[in-house]
Structure 1
């Protein structure tokens, strides 16, 4: 990346709010008060930016407690849970949701604890298994127009992510990137068309494996209807900067090259906005450039 016009003097001092993180003990207590089910927190799950925790019920069954602020049980049921229910009927390794409780303006869920560990580094054989699982998402929601389509937020802020203002204010390069994203969004729908199941955060940290096979795909809180190939672009960003063998990156780039512009363009613009915004607000400042560099490769 050319830094000739991007130096410390170009950085505009800013203070942006970070995404709130899960307080598992507080959420477990809230669930107990509302349901009478006492949950013992065993510890936080490995990975993730906002947090999930392993909990144990009185009967000894273990699950994963997650939390989504500014959300409702009704919205969860009509969107993400409907997506997962359909995929599970097709044999997709997505965890069942055992409990969903409204806690203030947030939803707390307890999901099935599936076996396996998150993928720290993706190789070609494992990528092919990931792609085989991903293929089950194609047209999975045909006839389910009641399930909301995936929002892109190319012209307006998302709910705690895909924020435009951090890009506008952080630096010259991020401001220029935001202008290009907004201009692109002006000519495209606000939501992703299609009848596939879109995970929305389909990266190695949310894909579990054991003994060379995929055992689960977790974190469906943002799932919606749309073109399932959107998740290939999500996966490509999830491999950056160093979470896969070079051959894996090349294979995935070739798949994205073959996508229709109507899918690849909005997906790349969305992920560029999402990851650069997230890097500005959550990563060290010197890491922002690496995400801007990736975004620039296809933003046009």
Structure 2
């Protein structure tokens, strides 16, 4: 599973040395670099504060601090008030065209192999996201991009051109878009990139969910579909996929179809443009399971 759509549209690598210097110049806070974050995150690194506690430095190019504070960071704060294990934001600063965030370093390591216990905890966390933003109508929702291209991701033309299977999938996606609202609706907190690589565990228990930079207001069940796509790319215990599929089977079609269409477009388009034909087939195999 790749990173969030916000990252896909503007994938630029963090220069930690320059960023901590720029942050010091902007805020007067001097942080010490403490190495890159694992997992290939191009926009995150570990840092230490003067009191020696460690945090995560994040760099969001071509972004505005006000937008982050009114959107994703507000989502996280609403969840934290409910006891959700999301990282606190310790510092936010606008540095040129980028937003620099310093966030709490949560304990645990990312999930490589999803088991039934972890899936059960993930489903409980998803329930905790319900109606958390009912009093936050100004937090934006997100477009599905089923009828037109997204900003650097969810592009339709690559699917139409690649082969017959992808073209047929794009035709179905556009038809779903014609029958459903263009934007997600609801008052739940939505992560938008809820997959095992963004879930931390210690001794089998979930200790945190990270990378909320694309978080929006909408329908929490979006994250369950994202998780299904996420475990298609990773190992899972026998029966875990079937369990999650049964959860999705129980969702109303008018909820599931546009979300499934969005994720299908998102992953197949990205694979066509950035990975191998085998990767494209991998995502088509999953996408087609719910095309009807």
The TM-score, its normalising length taken from structure 2, stands at 0.90
5+ residue gaps, structure 2: 1-7
With 240-249 and 159-168 compared, the bigger mean Cα shift is at: 159-168
2:188 to 196, 200, 203: 196
Name the CA distance, whole Å, in 2 between partners of 1:87 and 1:17.
26
Q: Which moved more, 1:52-61 or 1:18-27?
A: 18-27
TM-aligned CA distance change 1:193 to 1:42, over 3 Å: same
Change (3 A) 1:65 1:160: farther
Q: Out of 280, 284, 289, which is 1:292 matched to?
A: 284
Contact 1:150 1:198 in 2 (8 A): no
Aligned to 1:57: 49
Offset at residue 225 of structure 1 (A): 0.8
Matching residue of 1:151: 143
Secondary structure in 2 matching 1:246: coil
The alignment partner of 2:290 has SS state of coil
Residue 227 (str. 1) matches residue 227 (str. 2)? no
Name 2:14's counterpart in structure 1: 22
Computed over aligned residues only, the root mean square deviation of the Cα atoms, in angstroms, reads 2.0
Say if 2:199 is the partner of 1:207. yes
Aligned: 1:281 with 2:273:
yes
> Of the candidates 133, 156, 159, which is equivalent to residue 125 of structure 2?
133
> CA, structure 1 residues 17+226, in 2 after alignment: closer, same or farther (shift >3 Å)?
closer
Q: Structure 1 residues 98 and 244 mapped into 2: Cα distance closer, same or farther (>3 Å)?
A: same
Out of 135-144 and 247-256, give the one that drifted further. 135-144
- Partner SS, residue 239 of structure 1: helix
Which residue of the partner structure matches residue 5 of structure 2? Answer: none
Matched-pair contact (CA < 8 Å) for 1:239–1:249: yes
Residue of structure 1 aligned with 2:36, choices 39, 44, 57: 44
TM (normalized to structure 1)?
0.88
Show structure 1 runs of 5+ residues with no match: 1-15
